A and B are shown apart, each in its own frame.
Chain A
């Protein structure tokens, strides 16, 4: 367990963290502002990946595919909000869960009908496929550094928008007291559409960034969405900062747990026992973390203060 390996694993954790953040940011805003539980949020992640992969294969350019796929997922977000999600805001949570679960099934089946069950993959441009030397003996894939940079930039942009613009002020106001914002005469429906679609675009961005690593596959969004829910519960529902720190925390704990837990357990367990129990325990770590945080901060790390 040397310094270089720890450094690489921290970077890997950071990369998972920013992906989770992109997914969780939309989820937490939609849940916080519209009080809408969107289980189908992962569908945008999947669609982003499939659309980008298709465009990349057609246009033979990853950059162009990304630049087109993000607005397309934004557009799909607008359509879904206007056509479906809007009808569900007044419904109670159970009905929202049922309806959005149905949306997951529809989205998965649509993708299977359009692209087939085998998933899509595409080649990265040569320049992104290599390694870069960060320090003496720390090599790291260029593409993963790109993911971290893009994720951090989006996080910064989102922070600036939410805390320093008028629309951000409305978003924050909506998250803490929706009724009051409506009463003040703000066109809340417009705001909802915008937030929903922006969340969809960010989820799509996360999906298309992971696609060259794991490939676009059916149900990929549902797998990661569970973790994204853990992130927003840890971070505090409705809080973008909470989503950011929650995501980085979960990304690091998950990655470092997978990397070092067997060595750590090996210190006081037999080699055999450490080897078999480590994968199981590291899969549980983030849920243990969530339970611990909820015990001390029931509303999450950055949850809205109750007054």
Chain B
């Protein structure tokens, strides 16, 4: 009797289960940094991806969206391992994410050799834009050199003749320096590449002392993540705020600003940065994104979040274009090449290397109406700007 009852209960249970196991889904592996101090960036990206999935009602066409997040631990070797796992054992259809250029460079082969699509939601190393460009690789961010090139142009316009440059010593750091050197017309009087990675150098006393003694008129830095906050504090403590104006890329953002505000580092207000996006950019998709992010998480999204949000919508445009037939890789590729999706940056097109051809803006750090520190767009530096490495890309 009891045995039968249990059998019946099981039968009911099986019937009650929705047929999820039968329905197809689109699987997206998302690699970012979810441990170490850099997890603040990874969490921002993850939150944006979750918001994008929510805004798509969990569906791409008729397929359910399944996102698997993986942690690269801020290390290229770990990044490659988790990528391998996503590709081989989870058998995802798309791999997206990647904050760090060196992690992306170490991982790209695992994805591209397995005939999967790779969408970078941040890292834009010169190699992938040039010699290593691939038909299945797409970027929803920028090539590393572009943002500092915009800053170099701004510095020249402002009549700065002597510049001091600081950046971390890794793939993206070198690209940033190369970018600003390419467009800055004055003289670079000093340059420091500092140790980066899990045991990155965070005390910049020696470098700041050199910068101060160098006779430079302005200081250009690139310090993403927690290093940015540390740098800003030391910049203020070293008394450089009124002597050596600061121009940054990817350093002062929605991640570092709340903490700088908490520590009352007023030196950062009014400092200038360049970028392809700002929270106040006036496009329908951006308004929806920023408002949704503020409502859901109670803070401004960073540019990392914006790019991650875009990456999900780019993938969505591919899946919808082929009517959910994930075997039609040519169709999906062709759809993504059109960049025909609502992007937070407005409409843009893809270059031959699948990096966006897009505008770059000058942004200033300001306090918003509620007193929260954020960045505001001041002017357009480049219109429809394409990276220079596309010339090396043979596709």
Contact = CB atoms under 8 A, between A and B. Distances in A.
The answer to whether A and B come from one shared complex is yes
Interface of A: 2, 4-5, 8-9, 12-13, 15-16, 57, 112, 117-119, 121-124, 129-131, 139, 141, 143-144, 210, 212-215, 217-220, 222-223, 226, 255-256, 258-259, 275-276, 279-280, 283
Contact of B213 (A5, A117, A275, A279): A5
B40 A279 contact: no
Q: Which of B191, B198, B203, B264 has the most CB of A within 10 A?
A: B203
A259 B213 CA distance: 12
A143 B36 CA distance: 27
Contact of A5 (B198, B205, B209, B255): B209
A139 B201 CA distance: 23
A259 B194 CA distance: 11
Contacts of B202: 213-214, 220
A57 B264 CA distance: 12
A259 B206 contact: yes
A223 B199 contact: yes
A234 to B, nearest CB: 19
B270 interface: no
Nearest to B195: A283
Contact of A117 (B35, B192, B198, B237): B35
Given A119-B37, A119-B226, A12 B206 contact: yes
Contacts of B260: 121
Interface string B215-247: 000000000001001100110111100000000
A117 B39 contact: yes
27 contacts: A2-B213, A12-B205, A15-B205, A16-B203, A112-B35, A117-B35, A117-B37, A117-B40, A118-B37, A121-B229, A121-B260, A122-B263, A123-B263, A124-B237, A129-B237, A131-B239, A141-B205, A144-B205, A213-B234, A214-B233, A215-B259, A218-B35, A218-B37, A220-B202, A276-B193, A279-B195, A280-B169
| Top-10 shortest CB links A-B | A117-B39, A214-B202, A223-B199, A217-B37, A118-B40, A12-B205, A131-B239, A214-B230, A8-B209, A5-B213
B192 to A, nearest CB: 8
Contacts of A212: 233
Contact of A223 (B35, B198, B238): B198
Contacts, number: 119
Contacts of A9: 206, 209
A121 B263 contact: yes
Interface string B293-312: 00000000000000000000
A220 B229 CA distance: 15
B285 to A, nearest CB: 27
Contacts of B169: 279-280
B239 A139 contact: yes
Contacts of B262: 57, 121-123
Q: Which of B34, B205, B259, B265 has the most CB of A within 10 A?
A: B205
B237 A143 contact: yes
B207 interface: yes
B302 to A, nearest CB: 12
A8 to B, nearest CB: 4
Given A5-B213, A218-B37, A279 B193 contact: yes
A174 B199 CA distance: 34
Contacts of A139: 239
Contacts of B36: 117, 218-219
A207 to B, nearest CB: 13
B81 interface: no
Contact of B226 (A123, A129, A215): A215
Contacts of B209: 5, 8-9, 12, 259
Nearest to A16: B203
Contacts of B239: 130-131, 139, 141
Contacts of A219: 36-37, 198
Contact of A215 (B39, B192, B230, B238): B230
Contacts of A215: 226, 229-230, 233, 259
B361 to A, nearest CB: 26
A3 B193 CA distance: 23
B131 interface: no
A144 B206 CA distance: 12
B109 interface: no
B345 to A, nearest CB: 26
Contacts of B230: 213-215
Contact of A217 (B192, B205, B213, B226): B226
A235 to B, nearest CB: 21
A7 to B, nearest CB: 10
Nearest to A278: B193
Contacts of A122: 262-263
A281 to B, nearest CB: 12
A299 to B, nearest CB: 27
Given A117-B35, A118-B40, A226-B199, A258 B233 contact: no
Q: Which of B37, B192, B230, B234 has the most CB of A within 10 A?
A: B37
Contacts of A130: 239
B108 to A, nearest CB: 24
